Structure 1
C-alpha cells in the first residue's frame, strides 16, 4: 500500500498509510489558516486544491480564487512533489495533517517542532 512518509534526507521518521490528506497550517505572522489537499501517488504528492481563510502582508489571494464557506479556494497546477519540503520550528508553530476531516498536529507522530531540526520532508512511499 502507498502512504505518506515523514522524515528528512530519505530517513523515515513516521509512515502514515493513507491515500490522501490535507496539509494545514496557520501563518506565523498573520494568524491565517492555509490548507492544501494532496493525493498520494507513486509519482509523488499531487496537490489537488488549496484554500486560505484571508489575506495579509505578502499573502495575496491567487488569481481565479473563489470565496466559498469563508475561504478562498483555488486550484494548484504543479507536477507531483517528491519530496515536499516544509519548515518546522517552534516559533512558527506546527503543521497539521487532516484525514477525512480530522486534523492532528505533526507533533502527534514526530514530537514538537525543534529549532535544531528546522525542516521536514513529506513524500509518497510504500508502507
Structure 2
C-alpha cells in the first residue's frame, strides 16, 4: 500500500506510508525524532524519541529510556503539520521515508506544511 504526503506544493509517494522527522532542538541542542503514518486525511504520530529533556521538550509521561533515548508511543492525529523555518536554529528538519532523506527549513522563510495529499484541499 502506498500513501501520498504533500510537502508544501510537492507530492511525495511513500511505499511504506511512514516517514520520520528529525531535528535538533534550538535551545537544548539535542536530537528529537518523530515517526508518522500517513492516512487518507490525517497524520498519526506513531512514536517519538528524544535524546534529552528541558526547555519545553520533556518526555511524555509514558516514555521509557531505551538505548540513550526517551521513547514514547504516539498519541496524536492531526490533519497537517506546519514546520516554521526561523533560520535561527542549528539546522532544519530531516524528513526520511523509504530509505531516502531530505532536509526542510534550513533557512528563514515561509512555513512548510506536511499533510496527506487527499487532505490538502481541506486545509484552510
Q: The TM-score by the shorter chain falls in which range?
A: 0.7 to 0.9
* Alpha-carbon distance between aligned partners in 1 of 2:93 and 2:108, rounded to the nearest angstrom: 13
1:64 matched residue in structure 2? 62
Measure, in 2, the Cα distance between the counterparts of 1:122 and 1:58. Answer: 22
Task: Determine if the alignment matches structure 1 residue 114 to structure 2 residue 108.
Answer: yes
**Which structure 1 segments of 5+ residues have no match?**
none
Aligned to 1:85: 82
Contact 2:44 2:74 in 1 (8 A): no
Segments of 4+ moved more than 4 angstroms: none
Aligned positions, number:
114
Cα distance in 2 between the residues matched to 1:36 and 1:30 = 17
Out of 32, 35, 44, the position equivalent to 2:33 is: 35
Q: TM-score, normalised by structure 1?
A: 0.79
1:11-31 per-residue CA deviation (whole Å, 9 max, x = no partner) reads x1x221111100111101111
Offset of residue 100 of structure 1? 4.6
In structure 1, the residue matched to 2:121 is none
2:11 aligned to which of 5, 11, 15: 15
8 Å CA contact retained: 2:45, 2:76:
yes
CA distance in 2, matches of 1:100, 1:41: 16
CA distance in 1, matches of 2:100, 2:6: 19
